[in-house]
Amino acid sequence: MLTVNGLSYRHAGALRPSLLDVDLVLGDGEVLGVIGANDSGKTTLCLVLAGLAPRIVGGTLSGRLSIDGVDAGSLRMHDLPALVGIGFDDPATQLSGVAATVFEEVAFGPANLGVPRDELIDRTANALEALAISHLAERDPARLSGGQQQLVAIASILALRPRHVVLDEPTAQLDPSGTALVGDALERLAGQGVSILVVEHKTDLLARIASRVVALDGGRVVLEGPAKEVLADPALVDLGVAPPSDVRLRRALVTALLDPTQLEGARA
Amino acid sequence: MTDIRVEGLVHVYEGGVRALDGVDLAIGAGERVALIGQNGSGKTTLVRHFDGLLRPTSGRVLVGGVDAAERTVAQLAREVGLVFQDPDRQIFASTVRGEVEFGPRNLGLRGAALRSAVGEALAATGLEKAADLNPYDLGTSRRKLLALASVLAMGTAVVVLDEPTTGQDMRGMAIVEEIVGTVQAAGRTVIAISHDMRFVAERFERIVVMRQGRVVLDGSPSEVFAADHWETLRSTFVEPPLPAILGARLKLGATPTDRALVSALKSRG
């Protein structure tokens, strides 16, 4: 479980804080979606939860972050990756740049944690399989398409087998099927008790996998609740968040004075 | 006016990956075309031939009727502006304004003409107030808009956008959608690669679908997203937009957008 109390954070040199008085609980086995316009604090929240801010990127933090009941400040930096896995929106930031093949890239993280050879091979193969990229195992990561690199980056987080996963727009560059694969993988992980926080502009994906959704605006939590309710909240548009296709379509019908229930029969 | 013709284009990367496997495609001047298809299907590889960043293994690309092989990247860049998927591959100036100025200045624009090209591009992308900032003080999504502004300012006849809506919030989406419209209204060709089916169905008049280095479908949103093509679309990992699926199930015909579905429901009564 990740718990955040009264958390505020200001980036080094920034005039305003990026997060203001945030309270958040991320339970084991839960998928929590985070939405909000750009510059609303979503990426900063990921950096704080993964322990990278302020330790690595500087800035000032107040409030408290605890990981499985332990104050994050008392944990050693090199213990964090096995506890909280973080995935960035740009796979170029994520890939090590030192691996010659996708297999080596995905094995790189757990190898650094000292995972024994047999288990290392096992974990790597499983992570590749979970994202349906086993066929890319021998390819050079630098020569993959942007979307394929994103799947490799996510596989490398899965291979670390962290108890908590924080993902910043994990499907930004993925085709619809890649997006669905990531969704499946996250649901499976959550089923194993891993807690997952995922920042997404793709509200369709959140509607499918998230149990709860939090909306940020100017660094504050402004909406929080069951995914279904938050994603259908009319305030979403004012927050600069595009509602799921389903909600949009329903509204288009209502605006045209049509009965939205006539679509029900056509849903799968 | 600049049209693009692609004839039997094959591209094999060093190491043997066959990214394009015989593409034939004609894009007329002033058209608005979306390229869709799974990751690794060759979309980005294809558009990089339009401004000479990649050269064919075999086949050829004609830009404005002239074989691209006979022209340098600098010459092609005067006609084809390409906005990369990753903005950090093209941003290098120390201010937002400097970044946007670089392209048109290289094309020889000076004085009032330069100022107006830069001003218009900054306004279109909503970056006027950020003009004096360092590009790296902007978040990724606004850096993407900056990369777009720097290409717009060059006034090229063809504008190619590689996943322009990725990472954009609703406001960013609206900016990109409006730019697609205004660029085409100015008679320029817009080619966009996208995985956002709502965006392509609502904003493009023609959709080209790629799979494993080939073109497998080519037509209007109504044609491409029609039920008899779903199997082909899914074979290249594309899921039709929700209104297309619901419209077909309700036997309303092709309804690729919310608007089309609403009007089909209305006329059914």
Task: Please give the Cα distance from A46 to A91 (Å, whole number).
Answer: 15
Q: Please, which residues bridge with residue B207 across strands?
A: B34, B219
- Selected residue of B86, B169, B225, B236 to mutate for chain A interface (largest A Cβ count, 10 A): B169
Both ends of chain B: CA-CA distance in Å?
45
CB contact under 8 A, A175 and B242: no
0.90 surpassed by complex ipTM: no
Q: Please, which residues bridge with residue A49 across strands?
A: none
Min Cα distance B264 → chain A (Å) is 11
Q: For residue A268, what pLDDT is reported?
A: 65
Task: Please give the Cα distance from B39 to B268 (Å, whole number).
Answer: 38
Chain A partners of B163 at a C-beta cutoff of 8 Å? Answer: 146, 173
Taking only the tens place, the pLDDT of each residue in A31-58 is 999 999 988 999 999 999 988 888 888 9
Chain A partners of B195 at a C-beta cutoff of 8 Å? Answer: 147, 173-176, 179
Which of the residues in chain B have pLDDT under 50? none
Chain A partners of B167 at a C-beta cutoff of 8 Å? Answer: 38, 89, 169, 172, 201
Helix extents (H) in B82-225: 96-106, 111-124, 140-152, 170-185, 197-203, 221-224
Per the listing, tokens 């679309």 go with B233
CB contact under 8 A, A178 and B37: no
CB contact under 8 A, A175 and B163: no
> For B28, what's the count of Cα atoms within 13 Å in the CB-facing half-sphere?
5
Taking only the tens place, the pLDDT of each residue in A92-129 is 777 887 889 999 999 998 998 889 999 999 999 999 99
Burial A166-189 (b: 16+ CB within 10 A, else e): bbbbbbbbbbbbbbbbbbebbeeb
A25 close to B (CB below 8 A): no
Task: Please give the Cα distance from B58 to B247 (Å, whole number).
Answer: 42
Min Cα distance A264 → chain B (Å) is 9
Question: Reduced to 3 states, what is the DSSP secondary structure of residue A226?
Answer: strand
| Dihedral angle over CA of B248, B249, B252, B255, nearest 10 | -40
Helix extents (H) in A113-145: 117-130
Max CA separation in chain B (angstroms) = 59
Question: Reduced to 3 states, what is the DSSP secondary structure of residue A36?
Answer: coil
> How remote is the C-alpha of A253 from its chain's centroid?
32
pLDDT along chain A (268 residues), means of 10: 95 91 96 94 93 88 93 84 82 80 94 92 94 92 84 91 93 84 89 94 95 97 97 95 94 93 81
CB contact under 8 A, A258 and B262: yes
Query: In chain B, which residues touch A (CB < 8 A)?
Result: 13, 15, 17, 37-40, 44, 85-86, 88, 139-142, 163, 166-173, 195, 197-198, 234, 237-239, 241-243, 245-246, 249-250, 258-259, 261-262, 265-266
Burial B74-110 (b: 16+ CB within 10 A, else e): eebbbbbbbbbbbbbebbeeeebbbbbbbbbbebebe
Task: Please give the Cα distance from A109 to A80 (Å, whole number).
Answer: 12
Both ends of chain A: CA-CA distance in Å?
35
Structure tokens at A20: 């203001």
Q: For residue B139, what pLDDT is reported?
A: 82
Quote the Cα angle for A215-A221-A223, to 5°.
Answer: 50
A82 close to B (CB below 8 A): no
Closest CA to A34 of A245, A223, A240, A244: A223
Cis peptide before A260 (omega within 30 of 0): no
Structure tokens at B97: 């304004």
Q: For residue A188, what pLDDT is reported?
A: 87
Phi, psi of B62, rounded to the nearest 5 degrees: -105, 125
CA distances from B251 to A262, A266, B245 (A): 13, 10, 10
Question: Reduced to 3 states, what is the DSSP secondary structure of residue B210?
Answer: strand
- Inter-residue contact B104 to B155 (CB < 8 Å): yes
DSSP A7: E
Q: Please, which residues bridge with residue A164 across strands?
A: A84, A195
